[in-house]
C-alpha cells in the first residue's frame, strides 16, 4: 500500500509554508494563483476602500485610520484614487496597475486610448507617462523634461546637435504625436542654456 500525502500551501504574513511533497503541476498552479492575486490586489483593495467610503462614510474614516497605521495612508489613498479614476471598463488585464495609475489624470476616453496604445506597442511606463503629458496638452513640459534629462551630456557646442538627434531617435514615437511647437520649444530652451 502506498502512503498518501496531502499537499498544502499555507499563506502566512511573512511567506508560504509547504506541507507534503507537491508535484510540479501543483506548484505551478499555486504560482499562477499567487501571480493572479498579486496583479489583482491593488484593484481589489482600492475598489473595496472606495466602496466602504461611499457606503459607510463615518465608519470608514475610523477604519482608514486603523488601516493606515499598518499600510500607510498614502498607499491606501493611491489605491483608492486609481480605483476611483479608472473605471473597470477601461482597465487592461495585460497591463500592470502602475500603468493605470499613469493615466488616471486623463478623461476616461483618453485613458482607454493611452492604455490600448501602451498595450499594443508594448510601451514601458516611462513612455506611457510621456504620452500622457502629450495628451494633456503639455508638450512644452515634455520637451523640457526630455532636454533636461540629456543636458548633462553637453560638453561643447557641437554636442547640442547630437543631443537633439538622440532625443528624437529615442522618443520619436511620442514626439511625432506632439504639436510642431514642441521642437521649437526644445530648441529655444537649448539655446537659452547655451547662453547661460
- In whole angstroms, what is the distance from residue 24 CA to residue 22 CA? 7
Average pLDDT, the chain: 78
Q: Is 7 in contact with 22 (CB distance < 8 Å)?
A: yes
CA distance 118 to 91: 12
Longest pairwise C-alpha distance within the chain: 88
Contact 127/163 with Cβ under 8 angstroms? no
* 180-194 pLDDT per residue, tens: 333 433 333 344 444
Q: In this structure, is residue 14 part of a structural domain?
A: yes
Confirm whether 23 is domain-assigned. yes
Is 186 within the bounds of a domain? no
Determine which of 112-116, 138-142, 159-163 has the lowest per-residue pLDDT on average: 159-163
Q: What is the pLDDT of residue 1?
A: 42
Q: What is the pLDDT of residue 153?
A: 46
| Higher local confidence (pLDDT), 196 or 150 | 150
Question: Is 162 among the domain residues?
Answer: no
**Per-residue pLDDT tens over the stretch 18-38:** 988 889 999 999 999 999 999
Q: 64-93: per-residue pLDDT in tens?
A: 999 999 999 999 999 999 999 999 999 999
pLDDT given at position 101: 97
Contacts of 142 (CB under 8 A, 6+ apart): 130, 133, 134, 174, 178, 182
177 assigned to some structural domain? no
Sign of CA dihedral 110, 115, 116, 121: positive
- The predicted-structure confidence for 155-179, as pLDDT tens digits, reads as follows 444 444 444 555 555 554 444 444 3
**64 in any annotated domain:** yes
Q: Considering the chain, what percentage of its residues have pLDDT values greater than 90?
A: 52
Number of domains in the chain: 1
pLDDT-based confidence at residue 53 (cuts at 50, 70, 90): very high
The answer to the question of residue 128 being in a domain is no
Question: Which pLDDT belongs to residue 135?
Answer: 86
Determine the pLDDT at residue 111: 96
Helix H or strand E encompassing 152: none
- Hunting for cell 465608519 — which residue is that? 59
Secondary structure (3-state) at 15? strand
The answer to whether residue 55 sits within a structural domain is yes
User: What is the span of the domain harbouring residue 14?
Assistant: 1-85
Amino acid at each position: 500500500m502506498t502512503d498518501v500525502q496531502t499537499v498544502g500551501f499555507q499563506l502566512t504574513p511573512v511567506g508560504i509554508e509547504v506541507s507534503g511533497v507537491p508535484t510540479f503541476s501543483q506548484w505551478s498552479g499555486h504560482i499562477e494563483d499567487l501571480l493572479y492575486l498579486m496583479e489583482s490586489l491593488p484593484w481589489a483593495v482600492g475598489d473595496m476602500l472606495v466602496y466602504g467610503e461611499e457606503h459607510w462614510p463615518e465608519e470608514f474614516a475610523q477604519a482608514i485610520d486603523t488601516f493606515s497605521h499598518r499600510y500607510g495612508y498614502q498607499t491606501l489613498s493611491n489605491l483608492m484614487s486609481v480605483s476611483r479614476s479608472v473605471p473597470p471598463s477601461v482597465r487592461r488585464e495585460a497591463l500592470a496597475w502602475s500603468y493605470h495609475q499613469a493615466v488616471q489624470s486623463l478623461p476616461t476616453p483618453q485613458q482607454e486610448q493611452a492604455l490600448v496604445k501602451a498595450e499594443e506597442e508594448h510601451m514601458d511606463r516611462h513612455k506611457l507617462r510621456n504620452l500622457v503629458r502629450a495628451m494633456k496638452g503639455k508638450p512644452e513640459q515634455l520637451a523640457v523634461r526630455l532636454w533636461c534629462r540629456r543636458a548633462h551630456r553637453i560638453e561643447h557646442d557641437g554636442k547640442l546637435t547630437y543631443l537633439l538627434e538622440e532625443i528624437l531617435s529615442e522618443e520619436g514615437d511620442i514626439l511625432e504625436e506632439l504639436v510642431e511647437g514642441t521642437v521649437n520649444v526644445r530648441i529655444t530652451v537649448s539655446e537659452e542654456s547655451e547662453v547661460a
